[in-house]
Structure 1
Amino acid sequence: MLKMYDSLSGELKTIDESKVRIYTCGPTVYNYIHIGNARPLILSDLIVRFLEFKDIKYKYLLNITDIDDKIIDKAIAEGVSEIDIAKKYSEAFLKDLEDLNIKLPTKVIPISSKLLEIIDFIEVLIDKKHAYEVDGNVYFDISSLANKYGELSKQKKEELNIGARVEEDKNKKNPDDFVLWKKTDKGKKWLAKWSYGRPGWHTECALLIDNFFTKTLDIHIGGIDLKFPHHENERIQYIAKNNKEVAWVWAHNGHLSINNEKMSKSLGNTILVKDFIKKYGANVLRFMYLNSNYRQPLNINQQTIDQAIDWNTKVLNLLKTANWKIAINEITLNNETPIDDNFDSYKYITKFKEFMNNNLNTPMIITLLDEMAKNINKQFKNKVLDRTLDKFNAILSTLGFKYELPKIDKKTQAKLKEWLESVANKDFENADNLRDVLKEGGII
Structure 2
Amino acid sequence: MSEAVVGTKTVAEINERLRRGEAVVLTAHELKEEVRRGRRFEVEDVDVVTTGSRGPMSGTAAALSFPLSGWRGSGGRLRVWMNGVPAFPGPATSEGEDTLDVVVYGTAASRYEPRRYGGGHLFRELVEGKPIHVEITAAGHPAIRRTVTIHDFNFARLYSVRNAFRNYTAFANFRGTRPLETIFGFRPMGPETGITVVGSGETNPLQNDPELRVIRLGTRILVNGAPGIVVGAGTRSSPARPNLSLVADMVGMDPEYMGGFMTDAGVEVLNAIAVPIPILDEATLRGVLEARDETIRLPVADVSDRLPFTETTYAEVWRGPDLQVRYDPAKCVTCSFACVAEHYCPVGAIVWSDKRHDDALCLACGACTVNCVGGAFTAELGQLTVDGRKVPITFRQSDRRRAMKIADLLRDRMRRGEFLLGDLGDRIEHRLPGP
Q: TM-score, normalised by structure 1?
A: 0.20
Higher helix fraction: Structure 1 or Structure 2?
A: 1
Higher strand fraction: Structure 1 or Structure 2?
A: 2
Larger radius of gyration: 1
Higher RCO (C-alpha under 8 Å, 6+ residues apart): 2
Q: TM-score, normalised by structure 2?
A: 0.21
